[in-house]
Chain A
Amino acid sequence: MDKISNLEKQIAYLQEVLRCKEEELRALQANEQHASFCSPDKLSKDDVERFSRQIIIPAIGCKGQMALKTSSILIVGVGGLGCPAAQYLAGSGVGHIGLVDYDEVECSNLHRQLLHTEDSIGVPKVTSASIALKKLNSSLRISEYHTQLNSSNALNIVQKYDIVIDATDNVATRYLLNDACVLSGKPLVSGSALRLEGQLTVYNYNKGPCYRCIFPKPPPPETVTNCGDGGVLGAVPGVVGVLEALEAIKIVLGCSGILSGQLLLFSAESSAFRNVRLRTRNASCDVCGENPKISHLIDYEQFCGAKATDKDSSICLLREEQRINAPALFDSFVSKCEGLLIDVRSPEEFEMCAVPRSLNIPLKNIDEPDSVSQIITALQDKQAEQNPFPVYVVCRRGNDSQKAVLMLEKVLKDQNVAVRDLTGGLHAWARKVDSDFPIY
């Protein structure tokens, strides 16, 4: 173990040294390039050689390439959407990219956030992405904002850029960005993705509608699914993120055919794009209408009734005696073979990893007659053993299991059972009892 951690430390040190040297080299190269043919209104030799394949498209030309070179684009969220968007914008020769993300790279990001690598786990996403983008295009100027966008910093940041790309993962930040863009007059390229679906549109562009014109009321939090709970196929935000970069590039170039007042729906399942015509700007919109109620940024977490992240927060529905901790559950269910353990996650999650001898009944089916009779049958085999008989409920993090306890107490009220859930869910199980159990 000592050898492993020693080697890991040495490698981390050498990587840091390498990164510094690379940065130094890039700075020197960039200086040299500036000295030899720096002209603010002309493309350099390097520019022509690098971008010739797109410059020769009549819709772009030298004028378009210069427009890209002098443009600045802010990308909010450097995850599944932000990585591909940033990559194509850096490749296209955009002069200045701003990256906003408060988060650090996690292992579960790597299947879709392809600017980050195994080496960058634990590193701020803005740093990791910045290193990767600089390798792609050393003359790119990048501004890193390792912070959560909020009502007090959003306008300051947004004002510095020509165009904003919404590559975030939660409802509250989407309303915040919309309002910040309306108040500062910036077009907002908005993309989103979940499971096998994506959506794309451009808000607040050329007198077109804003997010609030289309969705004046935020969705109830319980109807919103995040990528952690619902899953997402990496290539889906890949497609949407690349399309976000494309719309931003088209806006810089002054192209017609911008996706404003239209919503593009992408279905990976049927390999289909649907283009739905949206309404025009709403004259009574709260932020961009004729008599706007919103003249400064508000509290968006309160407005949406949800946190401005895609992380689940803990709920507390049960009393202490309705819950059990991981070591006590291990002692009872594993060591003493007591009770019945019901896992209320989806069948897909149960198949990935589960506690041996546990019974999978997803939360959404838990009070259906079939499920109840399945539980009662399982109880009948064992129930004589203990009085009342322990029924344990587990889920991933210990939220759904609490809801399940309340439902099970109702449907099993005629059974002599004591229903309890595992505090902290299978995450706590993995941390405290079984270090081989995956935390996902």
Chain B
Amino acid sequence: MAPPQRGEVGGQGGQDPPAGVSVRVLLFAGARELAGTAEGVLTGLPADTDEAALLQRVTEAFSLHAMAGTFILALNQDFVAAGDALRLRDGDEVAVIPPLSGG
């Protein structure tokens, strides 16, 4: 029943092991539909980054351009605000949450 996972190899050109951090990405509501998956992995992220860079990587990796600017990002269940500096660790959980409007 669970949609397939989509992995993404993050621009490290086959280096072994990949430099940088890998995070688990959970997609909710419309983001899940747009990406065609409920879950994925982003690798090769810099440990020290910011909201704009993470948002860009997530948007590109999961083809979320159509809903850009209308979903929230949460890092380990904490809202990521515009301009936030972020410190990522391996295994961190990034959630992509658009509003759900049905009822």
**With A and B bound together, what is the CA distance between A240 and B102 in angstroms?**
11
A 243-286 to B, binary, CB cutoff 8 A, 1 in contact else 0: 00000000000000000000101000110001111110000000
* Chain A residues near B66 (CB-CB < 8 A): 220, 222-223
> Are A263 and B100 touching (Cβ within 8 A)?
no
A419 adjacent to chain B (CB < 8 Å): no
Choice from A220, A226, A263 contacting B97 with Cβ under 8 Å = A263
Tell yes or no: B28 within 8 A of A by CB.
Answer: yes
Bin the interface of chain A by size: 35 or more
Stretch with Cβ within 8 A of B (4 or more), from A14-22, A137-145, A169-177, A392-400: A169-177
Cβ–Cβ < 8 Å partners of A269 in chain B: 1-2
- Taking residues whose C-beta sits less than 8 angstroms from the other chain, chain B's interface range is 20 to 34
Instruction: Specify which chain B residues have a CB less than 8 angstroms from the CB of A167 in the assembled complex.
Output: 103
* CB <8 Å contact, B77 and A276: yes
Q: Which single residue of chain A is at the shortest CB-CB distance from B93?
A: A274
Out of A82, A170, A265, name the residue touching B101 (CB < 8 Å).
A170
A80 to chain B: which residues have CB within 8 Å? 103
The winner among B34, B66, B72, B101 for most chain A CB atoms within 10 A is: B101
Binding site for A on B (CB under 8 A): 1-2, 28-30, 33-34, 66-67, 69-72, 74, 77-79, 81, 95, 97-103
Q: List chain A positions with a Cβ less than 8 A from chain B.
A: 77, 79-82, 167-171, 174, 191-194, 197-199, 214-215, 217-220, 222-227, 230, 232, 237, 240, 263, 265, 269-270, 274-279, 310
What are some 24 contacts across the A-B interface (CB < 8 A)?
A: A77-B103, A80-B103, A167-B103, A171-B99, A192-B100, A192-B101, A192-B103, A198-B100, A214-B72, A218-B70, A219-B70, A219-B71, A223-B70, A224-B30, A226-B102, A240-B103, A265-B28, A265-B95, A265-B97, A274-B77, A276-B77, A276-B97, A277-B79, A278-B72
